[in-house]
């Protein structure tokens, strides 16, 4: 068994490069020599006219989109406790806005070819209040 090389496993987080748009991001990835990216979805959602063509542009340039990241509302990374309470999709108080942002970021134009999204919103299940466990 041949394990994949580091270059085949490594991807760049687009938000770390702070690109002004899709073409600058492509150029930055080429300069780094890393043809894989985890794309920040918030610019795709908030600036659709600028980012709508990124999936096609990436494919044309041999860049693979390996995943996407959506910032969620109300996240506070100041302490481990605030991360536990506010991180990701966990807080019920921000569920509606986070769901809408997630849905709009995953519109067909912003996804690589062959990907799709569902229009149905999952129901929030009742859950116990957060404890010290990360498994809630």
43 closest CA partner among 80, 68, 62, 66: 68
pLDDT in tens, 115-135: 544 555 555 544 444 443 444
- Dump pLDDT digits (tens) for 8-50: 789 999 999 999 999 999 999 999 999 999 999 999 888 989 9
Phi, psi of 7 (to 5 degrees): -60, -30
pTM for the full predicted model: 0.68
User: What is the biggest distance separating any 2 CA atoms in the chain, rounded to whole angstroms?
Assistant: 48
Q: Tell me which residue has tokens 């542009």.
A: 57
The DSSP call for residue 85 is H
Ranges of each domain in the chain? 8-109
Residues β-bridged to residue 36: 64
How many other CB atoms are found less than 10 A from the CB of residue 98?
Answer: 20
């Amino acid at each position: 068994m041949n394990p994949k090389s580091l270059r085949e496993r490594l991807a760049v987080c687009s938000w770390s490069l702070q690109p002004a748009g899709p073409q600058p991001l492509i150029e930055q990835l080429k300069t780094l020599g890393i043809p894989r990216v985890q794309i920040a979805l918030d610019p795709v959602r908030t600036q659709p006219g600028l980012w709508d063509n990124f999936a096609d542009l990436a494919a044309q340039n041999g860049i693979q989109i390996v995943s996407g990241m959506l910032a969620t509302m109300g996240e506070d990374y100041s302490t481990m406790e605030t991360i536990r309470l506010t991180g990701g999709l966990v807080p019920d108080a921000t569920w509606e806005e986070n769901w809408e942002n997630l849905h709009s970021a995953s519109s067909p134009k912003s996804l690589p070819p062959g990907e799709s999204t569902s229009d149905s919103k999952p129901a929030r299940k009742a859950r116990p209040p957060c404890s010290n466990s990360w498994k809630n």
